[in-house]
């Protein structure tokens, strides 16, 4: 029994000595004074703490992208350019898209990866096509079917013959003319074009617009993409467009809206500076100008996104400056330029790396403790000041010294 009492006493002594480490000593309830001002400060402190903790929680749940700058070491890469534009006053059959770069590569009248939608006067879609006039009327189908006869071989009318040696469609004749650097302005005299009702189809589509979208694969070097009227071809070292069909039709101009222009894959929610931009081709008097040229000079910066789910997206950002020109021919000087829309791109040697970052839970707990401790400390100082002021004022009033 004595041993047990000694052990109990020893354990009690240890717990009693442990109390000496209590940094939060409690005063007796009899010595506590509760005031209305203290209750008000406590209430507002609780509301402020709840608000700040909620704000910190939302910040903790949100991810941010932390940027870093590096030298771009990529070599011999291809770059993808995504396009989506609308031209209310240029028919699809007159619109061509070409790519040129400083490496000497030319892509003329790209249509493999570019789609066009014909638009009526009100901007409503007529049909979707890859290239050409997009008219699948019965007479045209019959004319083309006739030329599929193995015995048929159409005349190229002096143009550069294709490998087959025959120009069986109006478009074949047009390409043969382009191969010789000739303007295709005599469609009404060509048998293939007559049977396909080429002239009638052009006339019926002269008041249409065109919506164009798709992508281009280009070398990752400085160059330009231009959307201009007429078929394009190389004449010596010069890049030439056949403007005759465009200039013969009144009311055409290069008013346009850029729905999207991007270089590479775009992460969700990523917006580029030219998205949604609209321009009107007008002359000095504010009238529609068929000779309007729009130039966009872009500086492309390689960009890499590293996400927390271990996925990586390689894309490009760009800055842009704009320039407009009137290419109307001046007396004695010839044509001043090519009407259309030009996207000139230059490549930056830098790489921007964005890494998705989220605050760790320990950081969130540290911030919560700082909020609670800080607010209660400031509130305690404020309450002490108010309580002292009230006591001093009350004592002066009792002595009749309060003025």
The per-residue pLDDT for 25 is 64
The per-residue pLDDT for 198 is 76
The per-residue pLDDT for 299 is 95
What average pLDDT does the segment 242-254 reach?
81
In whole angstroms, what is the distance from residue 168 CA to residue 153 CA? 6
Q: Are residues 218 and 331 in the same domain?
A: yes
Q: Are residues 265 and 304 in the same domain?
A: yes
pTM: 0.69
Position with higher pLDDT, 188 vs 218: 218
Closest CA to 239 of 185, 178, 292, 295: 178
Does residue 339 lie in a domain region? yes
Give the number of domains in the chain: 2
Question: Which residue segment(s) compose the domain that 85 sits in?
Answer: 68-124+210-231+251-357
In whole angstroms, what is the distance from residue 171 CA to residue 131 CA? 11
Instruction: Answer whether 284's CB lies under 8 Å from 278's CB.
Output: no
The per-residue pLDDT for 86 is 95
In whole angstroms, what is the distance from residue 244 CA to residue 184 CA? 8
Q: Are residues 51 and 74 in the same domain?
A: no
Is the confidence at residue 131, as pLDDT, over 70?
Answer: no
What average pLDDT does the segment 29-48 reach?
80
In whole angstroms, what is the distance from residue 193 CA to residue 208 CA? 21
In whole angstroms, what is the distance from residue 357 CA to residue 61 CA? 11
Does residue 277 lie in a domain region? yes
What average pLDDT does the segment 176-201 reach?
78
Q: What is the pLDDT of residues 149-187, one digit of tens each?
A: 677 788 888 888 888 888 888 888 888 887 777 777 777
What average pLDDT does the segment 187-197 reach?
80
The per-residue pLDDT for 38 is 79
236 φψ region: left (φ > 0), alpha (ψ -120 to 50), beta (else): left
Q: How confident is the model at residue 255 (pLDDT cuts 50, 70, 90)?
A: very high
Does residue 338 lie in a domain region? yes
In whole angstroms, what is the distance from residue 171 CA to residue 229 CA? 16
> In the numeric block, which tokens belong to residue 135?
């008219």
Q: Are residues 295 and 375 in the same domain?
A: no
Q: Are residues 296 and 315 in the same domain?
A: yes
Instruction: Answer whether 232's CB lies under 8 Å from 240's CB.
Output: yes
Which residues does 185 contact at the CB level (< 8 Å), separation at least 6? 244, 245, 248
Does residue 19 lie in a domain region? no
Q: Alpha carbon of 238 to those of 106, 223, 235, 284, 292: distances in Å?
A: 11, 15, 5, 30, 21
Does residue 76 lie in a domain region? yes
């Amino acid at each position: 029994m004595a041993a047990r009492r000694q052990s109990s006493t020893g354990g009690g002594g240890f717990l009693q000595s442990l109390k000496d480490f209590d940094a939060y000593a409690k005063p007796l309830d009899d010595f506590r004074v509760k005031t209305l001002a203290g209750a008000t400060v406590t209430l507002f402190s609780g509301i402020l703490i709840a608000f700040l903790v909620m704000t910190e929680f939302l910040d903790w749940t949100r991810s941010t992208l932390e940027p870093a700058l590096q030298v771009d070491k990529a070599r011999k890469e291809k770059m993808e350019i995504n396009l989506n534009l609308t031209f209310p006053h240029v028919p699809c059959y007159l619109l061509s898209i070409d790519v040129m770069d400083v490496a000497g590569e030319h892509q003329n009248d790209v249509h493999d990866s570019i789609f066009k939608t014909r638009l009526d006067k009100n901007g409503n879609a007529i049909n979707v096509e890859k290239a050409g006039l997009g008219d699948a009327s019965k007479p045209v189908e019959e004319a083309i079917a006739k030329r599929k006869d193995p015995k048929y071989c159409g005349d190229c009318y002096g143009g550069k013959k294709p490998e087959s040696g025959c120009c069986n469609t109006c478009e074949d004749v047009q390409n043969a003319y382009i191969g010789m650097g000739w303007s295709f302005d005599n469609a009404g005299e060509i048998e293939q074009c007559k049977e396909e009702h080429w002239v009638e189809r052009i006339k019926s589509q002269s008041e249409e617009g065109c919506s164009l979208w798709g992508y281009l694969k280009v070398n990752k070097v400085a160059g330009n993409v231009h959307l201009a009227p007429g078929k394009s071809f190389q004449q010596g070292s010069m890049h030439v467009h056949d403007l005759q069909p465009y200039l013969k039709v009144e009311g055409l101009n290069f008013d346009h809206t850029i729905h999207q222009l991007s270089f590479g894959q775009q992460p969700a929610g990523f917006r580029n500076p030219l998205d949604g931009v609209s321009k009107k081709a007008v002359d000095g008097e504010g009238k529609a100008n068929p000779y309007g040229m729009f130039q966009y000079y872009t500086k492309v910066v390689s960009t890499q996104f590293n996400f927390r789910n271990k996925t990586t997206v390689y894309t490009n950002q760009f800055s842009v400056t704009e320039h407009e020109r009137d290419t109307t021919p001046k007396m004695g000087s010839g044509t001043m330029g090519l009407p259309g829309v030009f996207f000139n791109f230059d490549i930056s040697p830098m790489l921007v790396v964005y890494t998705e970052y989220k605050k760790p839970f320990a950081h969130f707990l540290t911030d919560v403790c700082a909020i609670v401790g800080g607010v209660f400390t400031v509130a305690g100082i404020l309450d002490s000041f108010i309580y002292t002021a009230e006591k001093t004022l009350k004592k002066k009033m009792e002595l009749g010294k309060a003025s």
